[in-house]
Structure formats: C-alpha cells, structure tokens
Structure 1
Amino acid sequence: MGNELRSDGPDRREALREQLIRVRIAGEVATPREGNLLHYRRMVAKDPGYQFGLKLKDWTFDETLAMMARLCGVNPDPRHAWGIDTIDPDRTLDALDAMADRIAAAARRQATVLLATGHPERLMGVYRAVEDGLRAAGCAVLTPAAGWSYHVPGSSGPKYREITYTSGVAALMSKDGRLEHTHDPQPMQVMLRELDSAWPDFVIADHGWAGAAGEAGIETVGFADCNDPALFAGHAEGKIAVTVPLDDGLRPEHYLPLTAYLLARAGIAPTHPSDTP
C-alpha cells in the first residue's frame, strides 16, 4: 500500500478518493449502465432475487433511479441507457465515514456482532480486518448456523450451499469447498432463527445477508454496488443504517486502502503498521 494513506484527516481522505477512482471502486465503474437499469426494474417489479430479503415499499422506476443518483451517484438521466455508469467517490467516502462511526460505537459498547458477505472472493479481507478490530475491542462475534445447508436453483440443476465461517465471517460454501457469491437472504434468516432472542446488536454485511438483518430491525451497515438498489432503498426507508456504494467485484488488493481508512476512522486499526491491511 506504500505511503498513500499514512497521513490523517483531509489528506488521508483525498488520497483514498484518488485511489478509489484510479482502481474504479468509484468514479467510472465497470458495472454497466444497462445492467443497473435492468436491476432497478426488477427491484421495482418486486422480483425476490432483487429485494435482498427487504420488504420494500412500492418504488417506481423513476423514484428508484433518482434515489440511486442521490445515494450512489449513478447518472440521473433516464435517457442514458447503455455504457458506463458512475459511483460518486464522495458519496462512497461519506458513507465509509458513517459506517466507521457506527463500527466505533459498536466497539465502545462491546456489542455482539455478526459479519457476513455474499462476495467472499472479493471482500472477505475487508470483513476479516473489521472482525479482528472488533474482537480486539472486546466485541463478541457470533457464528450461528455453521454447517446449515440447502439447495439453490441453477441452470444445470439445484446447487448445494452451506453456511461456513472464515474466522467469524459467514459466507456460503459449495459442495467442493469453494466460497460462493450469493444475493440470498435465507442464510441470514436461518442464522437469526437459530439465535432466537439472542440476536446481535450490530451486523456488517452485504447483499441478502444485510437485507435480512435490516428487515429484522437489527442495526445493519453494508456495502452495495450500483446494480444493487435494494440496500440503498432499504437505507432510504430507514431499515439499513449505512449503505456504502462501491464496485464490489474487483481484485481483493484494491480494497486494502479502503479497509485501512475504515479501521483508522473507527479507531480499531492494528497497533503495529505491519498488521494494517
């Protein structure tokens, strides 16, 4: 990571802003405009695959596009139907700050925490670093329903999926042991049922993991791409505390500066620089 994020305050934020744009976590992103608009229409149509476990109000397409422009920074023009779309890096940074403040508060009160990701191949390092910081602050990290399995539909037939944990971060695993991408809220719903009345105080997640937790009324912060409108709609409706807009499909090392910024802002950064992601 070099020296790019060693300074504090505005300089650190500006350095991260430049890096977000350079690697396309924000700014002009690789997530295509046509895919974004298709997903917005599917959320509006209440397609379960695009609700992320949230029981959302009736959104129109125009309302959804305007909301995504406001919270994520996509192009607000409905006539822009194809090609490049955008995530506003300042909205990403503002949401990161808000997420960090929530994480800091959870650390101070030694909250019980659940962490889960539908993008384990990309974002696991972010979650693991936050987990380590929260554990060091005295938080209890819950790991319910480990080993619970089910089958999801697939083009070649149902596919086996099992809840597994990398340290304390939940993800789905296939039959051959690979960590898998998912939008499904069902695993989080199962985890909360197993916990019964002993729900976590705080959830850090994405996709359906975050949506199901937010719908349950748990304080939830999460990450979402510009083609994932449900979590932004959940934030607009007050069900998701913070939704950080970012391209969630890049190489894991691209998220290291973002992770370092988040930990430093939350006050849970490692004591030794060599331990910092």
Structure 2
Amino acid sequence: MLSTGALRAHLLAARLAGPVATSREESLRSYRLFAARDPRVLLGLDPERGWRERDLLGLMADRCGVSGDPGHVSGPDVIDPERTLAALDAFAGRLRRAGEARAPVLFGTGHPHRLLGFYAALAEALSAAGCVVLTPAQGRRVDMVGRFGVRTYRLDYVRGVALVREEGARPAAGATGAHSHSPLPVRIALGALAEAGGPLPELVVGDHGWVCGAGQLGFEAIGLADTDDPALFVGEAEGSVAVAVPLDDGVRPDYYRPLVGYVLHRAGLPR
C-alpha cells in the first residue's frame, strides 16, 4: 500500500491528477452542454437548480482544482491531487461503512476498458468482507440513443462489475465492453431488483450514468469523474451523489492499481 505521499507522486506521474489528458476545450464544452441540460452530459441527473456555465466553472474549480478563469480556454486541464486524495479518503469511508454493515452493493462502469480492474478489486474485497455484490438483469437488452441512432446493447457482469456489450459481442473475443454515459443500464438493473423483491443496493459504485442515475433515484452512490464530467460534482453539491473523486478516467488500466491498495487500506478491507 502506497503512503499518501507516494500516491500523490503516482497521481502526478501517471497524469491521473495534475495536468491531465482531458483538454480545457473538452471540459468547457461539457459545461456549456450541461448548462443547456443536454442529456448526454447530465448522465441521468435532474439538477435541482439552474446551473450556468460560470456556476459550473466555479464548482469544478472548487471540487477538482481546474482553473476558474473563464479566459483560460485551451490546453490541458488540471486536477489538484490534494482534492483527489481527500475524495479517495471519503470514497474509502463509504466502502468501510458498507463492509461493516455487510451491505448489498452494485458496481457498474461506463469505462470498462480503463476502470474494470479497479472496480473488480473493490467488489472482490467487499464480497470477502461479507457483502452481497449484486448482478441483476444479466443479459437484459439496453437500447441507447447515440449519434447514429438507437444501438442495442446487453447488460453483462465481469468479476461482479456491470457493463454493457454491443449486441452480438462475444466476451471470448477479448472485448471488455462498451464505453457508455447512459443511466439506462443502472435503471434497468435497479428495476430488475425491485421486480424480484430485492435486496436493493445500499451503495452503488461506478462512474458516469451508473452513479448519477442511481443517485437521482435516491440510492447512495459514489464514483470517479474527470474534469469533463460535471454531473457527478453537481450531484455531490446537491446531495444526490455521496462522493465524486476527481481524476483522469482514461489512462492505462494498470495506473489505477495503486489506488486499489490505498482505498482498501483506508477502508479496512482485505486485498
């Protein structure tokens, strides 16, 4: 397990924090779209207040450490590693509570190519601690609207973590799943649990629509978010998301491994 100082150094070296690959242009575009309530960036969240672009910029400067200067419009965006570390501690605290209560937990990701291993390690630790890791609606059809019309996916689970695969994709072919922002998968998963009479998750862990979609429905939800994902931080500010951890969500999968040991140690969970 890395010390706090060593993890801070890793965050910067791996560009999980500090100057990140997400560009300032991408982040500002997301803030504009969110202010216009574009569903592509709301991620299933229905904000309580009207968020203007300048409000979002101020929020993201506070929660992530991006520049709050509206005149800064290009170049790499920046995440403050101290904010990442503080949020990881809060994230671990929620996992600790779930483990102590042996609570049912649901994991899901829209970034399976990058983050599947991170979530799977947490799911395995919680399972070893006595939690039920839920896997509802396996194989259920999910129709999502994209730039080229409606595409059909299937809900699947890998090592206890939900993801979606394009219809006909074979796990044996090496596909880990599709990138997705949609809240539809978590709605379908939660709906299946409700239809079956539970148990319902006491904690939902993930990113994108998995966190915002669950939080909007009143479930405790925690997750990871990049500088161009304002929805999770708005949800955190408004109380529908319990913890949003600012970091780059698109680096190499092995770069997230040191975070696993740190989080599990802080949460008092087995590795």
Bin of the TM-score, shorter chain as denominator length: over 0.9
SS in 1 for 2:22: coil
Rounded to whole Å, the distance in 2 between the matches of 1:126 and 1:155 is 29
Match of 1:17 in 2: 8
Please state how far the C-alpha of 1:91 moved relative to its aligned partner.
0.4
Match of 1:90 in 2: 82
Q: Does 1:193 align with 2:194?
A: no
Match of 1:231 in 2: 232
Rounded to whole Å, the distance in 2 between the matches of 1:211 and 1:19 is 28
SS in 2 for 1:30: strand
Match of 2:70 in 1: 78
> Where does the alignment leave 5 or more consecutive residues of structure 1 unmatched?
7-11, 271-277
Please state how far the C-alpha of 1:156 moved relative to its aligned partner.
4.9
Taking a change above 3 Å as real, the CA distance of residues 45 and 103 of structure 1, as seen in their structure-2 partners, is same
Rounded to whole Å, the distance in 1 between the matches of 2:115 and 2:203 is 19
Please state how far the C-alpha of 1:167 moved relative to its aligned partner.
2.3
SS in 2 for 1:257: helix
Supply the RMSD in Å over aligned alpha carbons.
Answer: 1.2
Paired amino acid for 2:106 = L
In the TM superposition, 1:58-207 aligns within 5 A as 58-175=50-167, 176-177=169-170, 178=175, 179-196=177-194, 198=198, 199-207=200-208
Rounded to whole Å, the distance in 2 between the matches of 1:226 and 1:156 is 26
Please state how far the C-alpha of 1:87 moved relative to its aligned partner.
0.5
Rounded to whole Å, the distance in 2 between the matches of 1:23 and 1:150 is 34
Paired amino acid for 1:181 = H
Give deviations 1:81-120, integer Å, cap 9, x for gaps. 0112101100000000000011001100100100000001
Rounded to whole Å, the distance in 2 between the matches of 1:38 and 1:80 is 13
> Where does the alignment leave 5 or more consecutive residues of structure 2 unmatched?
none
8 Å Cα contact 2:107-2:162 kept in structure 1? yes
TM-score (norm 2): 0.93
